Amino acid sequence: MSAPRRLNWGCGSHIAPGWVNSDIKDDPGVDVVCDILGRLPLDDESIDYAVSVHALPELPYPQLVPVLEELRRVLKPGGTLRLCLPDLERGIRAYQAGDADYFKVGADEVESLGGRFIVHMLWYGYSRTLFTTDFAEELLRKAGFEDVVACSYKSTASGLAGIVELDNREDESLFVEGTKPIYTAGMPRNEWIKVLDVSVDTGDTDVLRAARLDAPVVGEKVDSSALKIVGWAVGRDAAAEAVEVVAAGQVVATTPLDIERPGVAEAYAQVPGADKAGFRLLVKGSGRGRHDLAVRAILADGVKAPIGTIKVEVGRQSLVDRFLAR
């Protein structure tokens, strides 16, 4: 199997070995020098996955969707685009909390906290657009991406371990992914995933105090190439820090436990990690037929504990089904 072709768009001086590094500036190591507003000199559907780190903010609002559409053009069907963007909400929280150290603009340059907040978020005028997670998700959907999901630092819902290699600026960034559809525009999706069974071990064990899978549910059928898994887990002696999904002996998706679940936090108030015990991730279907997805919690001490097993069937609509669905 050949190595994936990976695009690092808007790389600037951050050249990544093993990637197609593209930027508007002709810096040493940049493989593709061009203005994306014209057109990337890359063939249609020639990139397996793409990442952009803090480049999109330099564009004004009217250009955002066209640029994302151009990135979608060069992706292969089913390819993923991962965006790393400055998080406006984090900046606002730091400003409201009076956390001057959050901003990378020194007091010797800008004295007021508000000024440091503004100069930091606009980065001395280089940034023309500010981002929140829901805004980034909306833009990806408008550009034709599906299975749009917010991720955490070094965590991906794509199942592609290499896609997080370029993650940086953890303390000030948000991360969002979208997938290029693998169906033809104007035609119904021809992939589906049906949930055959969901078994969950919610009892008290030596490793987990409790765990639950809220989604999917038995009988659920999604006309998509990805299945959303939502739940929570609380450790016993060590905090549950992450969740992974294993299929056929391989980890296909992973995400940290970092979503607040007030009910869980209240029920297990004295348990480490209960304040952010929730998780959400996407698992992409691969290969027709029946598959078992094992969902496991990863504890702070490295121990892994089963949360449950999801049995699914992955298939495609027949030509007759697709015709009737028009």
Number of neighbouring beta carbons within 10 Å of residue 218: 12
CATH architecture of 6-87+131-179: 3-Layer(aba) Sandwich (3.40)
Helix (H) or strand (E) holding 53: strand 47-53
Rounded Cα distance between 177 and 167, Å, is: 13
- Cis before residue 216, ω within 30 degrees of 0? yes
CA 233 to chain centre: 20
Q: What residue has token string 């992914």?
A: 177
Residue-wise pLDDT tens for the chain (326 aa)?
357 899 999 999 999 999 999 999 999 999 999 999 999 999 999 999 999 999 999 999 999 999 999 999 999 988 999 999 999 999 999 999 999 999 999 889 999 999 999 999 999 999 999 999 999 999 999 999 988 999 989 888 877 878 999 999 999 999 999 999 875 444 445 578 899 999 987 555 788 888 999 888 999 888 776 788 889 999 988 888 889 999 888 888 888 887 778 888 888 888 888 888 888 777 866 667 899 999 999 998 889 999 999 999 988 754 333 333 33
For domain 191-324, is the CATH number 3.10.450.50?
A: no
For the record, the structure tokens of 66 come out as 């066209």
Q: CA nearest 296: which of 219, 197, 229, 204?
A: 229
Query: H helices within 9-76, ranges in order?
Result: 61-74
Rounded Cα distance between 156 and 184, Å, is: 26
The residue extents of the domains of the chain are 6-87+131-179, 191-324
Check for a shared fold between 6-87+131-179 and 191-324.
no
Using CB atoms within 10 A of its CB, is residue 6 exposed (0-12), middle (13-18) or buried (19+)?
Answer: buried
What's the distance, Cα to Cα, between the start and end of the chain in Å? Answer: 36
- The dihedral of CA 273, 277, 280, 286: what is its sign? positive
Helix (H) or strand (E) holding 39: none
